[in-house]
Amino acid sequence: MDALGKVRRTHDNNSLTAADAGREVVLTGWAQRRRDHGGVIFVDLRDREGITQIVFNPERDPAVHEKAKAIRGEYVLGVRGIVSLRPEGMENPNLETGAVEVLVSELWIFNTATTPPFMIEDQLEVSESLRLQYRWLDLRRPRMVRNMTVRHKASRFVREFLNEHGFLEMETPFLTKSTPEGARDYLVPSRVNPGLFYALPQSPQLFKQLLMMAGYERYYQVVRCFRDEDLRADRQPEFTQIDMEMSFVGEEDIMDLSERMIAGLFDAVLGVTVPLPFQRITYETAMDLYGSDKPDLRFGLPLCDVTDIVAKSGFKVFAEAALRGGIVKALNAKGASELSRKDLDDLTRFVSVYGAKGLAWIKVKEKDWQSPIAKFFSDDEKAALSQKIGMEQGDLVFFVADTKKVVNEALGHLRLQMAERMKLIEDECFAFAWVTEFPLMEYDETEKRNVALHHPFTAPMDEDLALLESEPARVRSRAYDMVLNGTEIGGGSIRIHQRPMQEKIFSALSIEPSEAEEKFGFLLSALASGAPPHGGLAFGFDRLIAILCGEKSIRDVIAFPKTQKAACLMTQAPSPVSALQLTELSLRVSRPE
C-alpha cells in the first residue's frame, strides 16, 4: 500500500481551533513556507481552505525531523500529529488557525516541486502573461481560490433559485448553424460532410425560443457561449451566461423575477441587502442624461443639452454644430474649477478618443467666467446657460458640440473620468437599474441597411408598429438591460411570437425572404406551429462574478481564460494541426508570410 492508502485527512487547513488542542489529526496540502528556528522546523501547510502551521521538533521525533529537512516550497505533504496551543505571544491573529499548531509525528512527502516562477501569494508584482502561462500555480493563490469559490457559490445559488421557481435546466447544442447577425461565429468544419461547417453558438437564443414553442414554459442554463470578436477586459472568446426564457409573461414578470434572483445572490455571496425594485430608466433618458445606455448611477454629474441656448450664439463651433443638426451638451463638474490647464489639455485629448474634435470649458469664478469662449456669449445667453446648467462659483463646465452620437459618447466617458478624479464613486455601493425601450434597429453606415440593436427576434412596442415602414429608427423595442455601476450585467426582451411579424422585421432589416428561409426557416416554421408569447434574459455570468469579487478583469474570475488576443498562454492554443487532420476535413490552409 502506498502512502496515500495510509492517509485519510481529518481536517482542512482552516478549521483547527484552540478547542482541538490534544487531538490527533491528519492534514494534507502544499508547503507554503518553511522556517528553521534553532533546529525546530516550522512549515505553513496550505490547501484551498487556508493555512495551518505544522512543527517538526528533533526532540520529539528525530527521524521525522530529519525527513522534514528536505521540504521546500510547494512540496506536497501529508502529516499526522497532535494539535497544540501555540506559546503565549506567538499566536497569529491573521489566520483562522492562528491559535494552534500541529506537532508532527508522521510525515509523507507525496511529491517534490520545482521552484515556482512567482510566489504563491496575493501581493504579486508579476505580469499577467506570466500568471496565465503558469495558471495552475496562479490558481493556488488565496485570491484566486476565493474568486473560484465565489463563482461556485453564485452558480449554485442561481440553480437553486430557478429550480425553486419552476424552471427546467436544459442543454442546447454547441455544434449548430451559422446565422451571422451579430459578432463573428467560430466555425467548426464537418469531417462527415466535407465543405460544410458548424458554428459554435454566440448564445442559445433560437434554441431557448424553440423550447418555449415546444411547451416547456420555463427554461434556464448556465451555458458557455462563443464569439469571435475583439477582446477587452470584460470580454472573452468563450464566456458563460445565465440563460433564461419564460412563456406567457411580460416585461415586468421577467424583471421582477430577475431582480429577486440578483438581490438574493448578493445577499447569499456578499451579505449585501439590495433594495427592490430597481430603478427604471428609458434608453432615451439614459442617453440624454448620462450619454450611455449603461449609466453608472452611483453619482450625479448629469449631462445637459444646451443646443437651444447656443444655436445662435457668437461661438461659431456651437452655432455650426446646431445648424448641421448636431447638438451641444454641457457637463458641470461641481467644485472642480481648480483643475490646471494641463489637466484640461489632458481631458481634451481624452475625449478626442471618442471622436470629439475639441473640448470647450468654463471656470465659474466669483465675478465672471474664466474661459477662452466666454467672450462669444451675450449676457442673456450667459444667464440662460447658468440657470439651465446650475452653474455656481467654483464649478468647471465642459462642452462638446458634434453629432448626437459623438457628443454622448465623449461626454459620457468624460463623466466617468471626472467622477474618478473627484472621488465621487463609492466602491461598496451597488447602483442597479433597468434601461428600457431601446431602439429596435439602427442604420449601419458600413452595411447601408438597418440592423437590429439587440437581435432580430426582439418584439417592437405595439404603439410604434405604424412607424415600422416609414420611420424604422423611431421604433422602440420591448428590450431591457440590467445595469450595475456602469456595466451591463444582463439583457433580454419580449420576443416576436408570430410568423407574420417576424417576417415583417426581417424585411425591415433588408433580409430577403429567401435568405430568411435559408437562415431561419426552422424558426419561421415553429412560429407558425402555435408559439406562445414569451421572453427572457441572459446575464453575463463572468461580469457578474467580477463585480462580486471586486475584480476589474473577468480573466481573474475564469479558471483558464484567454488573453486579449484570444490565446491560451498555458497550452499555446491556438496551434497548427497536422496535414492529415486537414486532409480529413477537406481543408487546405494558406498561411500568411
Rounded to the nearest 10 degrees, the angle between the axes of helix 142-164 and helix 541-549 is: 130
The answer to whether residues 367 and 246 belong to one domain is no
For 215, 397, 495, the CA distances from 478, given in Å and listed in that order, are 22, 36, 8
Residues 325 and 247 both lie in one domain? no
DSSP labels, 474-539: G-BBSEEEEEETTEEEEEEEEBP-SHHHHHHHHHHTT--HHHHHHHHHHHHHHHTTTPPPEEEEEE
Structural domain contains residue 592: no
Query: Residues 32, 67: one domain?
Result: yes
Q: What pLDDT is stored for residue 322 in this prediction?
A: 94
Assess if residue 175 is contained within a domain: yes
Q: Contact at 8 Å (CB) between 144 and 138?
A: yes
Q: How far is CA 388 from CA 309, 333, 353, 418, in A?
A: 9, 14, 28, 20
Q: DSSP string covering 107-169, please?
A: EEEEE--PPPSS-SSSS----HHHHHHTHHHHTTSHHHHHHHHHHHHHHHHHHHHHHHTT-EE
Residue 3 pLDDT grade (very low, low, confident, very high; cuts 50, 70, 90): low
Whole-Å CA distances, 282 to 201, 412, 454: 30, 16, 15
CA distance 590 to 158: 46
Residues paired with 108 in a beta bridge: 78
Pairing of strands 218-226, 168-169: parallel
Task: Please give the C-alpha separations between residue 16 and each of 5, 31, 272, 308, in angstroms, as whole numbers.
Answer: 23, 17, 28, 70
User: Considering the domain boundaries, does residue 328 fall inside one?
Assistant: yes
Q: Quote the pTM value.
A: 0.92
pLDDT digits (tens, 9 = 90+) for 39-62: 899 999 999 999 999 999 999 889
pLDDT tens per residue across span 353-409: 999 999 999 999 987 899 999 999 999 999 999 999 999 999 999 999 999 999 999
CATH number at residue 166: 3.30.930.10
pLDDT tens readout for residues 526-557 = 999 999 999 999 999 999 999 999 999 999 99
pLDDT tens, 475-506? 999 999 999 999 999 999 999 999 999 999 99
pLDDT band at 4 (very low <50, low <70, confident <90, very high): low
Mean pLDDT of all residues in 561-579: 93
Do residues 182 and 63 share a domain? Answer: no
- Same domain membership, residue 174 and residue 97: no
Domain co-membership, 68 together with 141: no
List of residues 6+ apart from 255 with CB closer than 8 A: 277, 278, 434, 480, 482
Q: Are 111 and 2 in contact, with CB atoms under 8 Å apart? A: no
341 and 408 together in one domain:
yes
For residues 28 and 132, what is the distance between their CA atoms, to the nearest angstrom? 26
pLDDT of residue 1: 35
Cα dihedral 206/207/211/212 (nearest 10): -20
Digit-coded pLDDT (tens) for 194-244: 999 999 999 999 999 999 999 999 999 999 999 998 766 668 999 999 999
| Residue 418 forms part of a structural domain | yes
Supply the CATH number for residue 96's domain: 2.40.50.140
Mean pLDDT over each residue of the chain, to the nearest integer: 94
Strands (E), 8-131: 24-37, 40-46, 51-56, 76-85, 100-111
Confidence of residue 35 (pLDDT cuts 50, 70, 90): very high
Please, which pLDDT band fits residue 182 given cuts at 50, 70 and 90? low
Burial of 475 (C-beta count, 10 Å sphere; 0-12/13-18/19+): buried
Q: Please say which residue of 390, 405, 425 terminates a domain.
A: 425
Are 510 and 450 contacting, i.e. CB atoms less than 8 angstroms apart?
yes
Choose one of 425, 441, 466: the last residue of a domain.
Answer: 425
Average confidence (pLDDT) over 15-20:
96
- Rounded Cα distance between 543 and 553, Å, is 8
User: Cβ distance 101 to 56 under 8 Å?
Assistant: no
3-class SS of residue 454: coil
Distance CA 369, CA 379 (A): 11
Considering the domain architecture, whether residues 192 and 162 belong to the same structural domain is answered as yes
Instruction: Indicate whether 468 belongs to any domain.
Output: no
CA distance linking residue 564 with residue 556, whole number of Å: 13
Number of domains the chain is built from: 3
pLDDT tens string 72-111: 999 999 999 999 999 999 999 999 999 999 999 999 999 9
DSSP assignments along 535-571, one per residue? EEEEEEHHHHHHHHHT-S-GGGGSSS---TTS-BTTT
Contact present, 359 and 400 (Cβ < 8 Å): yes
d(CA 333, CA 390): 11
Alpha carbon of residue 499 to chain centroid: 34
- 138: containing domain: 130-274+532-587
Cell of residue 114, nine digits: 520545482
**Does 105 share its domain with 135?**
no
More confident residue, 429 or 169: 169
Write down the pLDDT at residue 98: 96
Grid cell for residue 106 = 508522521
Note whether 80 and 104 are within 8 A (CB). Answer: yes
Residue 221: count other Cβ atoms within 10 Å of its Cβ: 22
Amino acid letter, residue 263: A
* 267 and 134 fall within a common domain: yes
Query: How confident is the model over 167-172, as a mean pLDDT?
Result: 98
146 and 255 part of one domain: yes
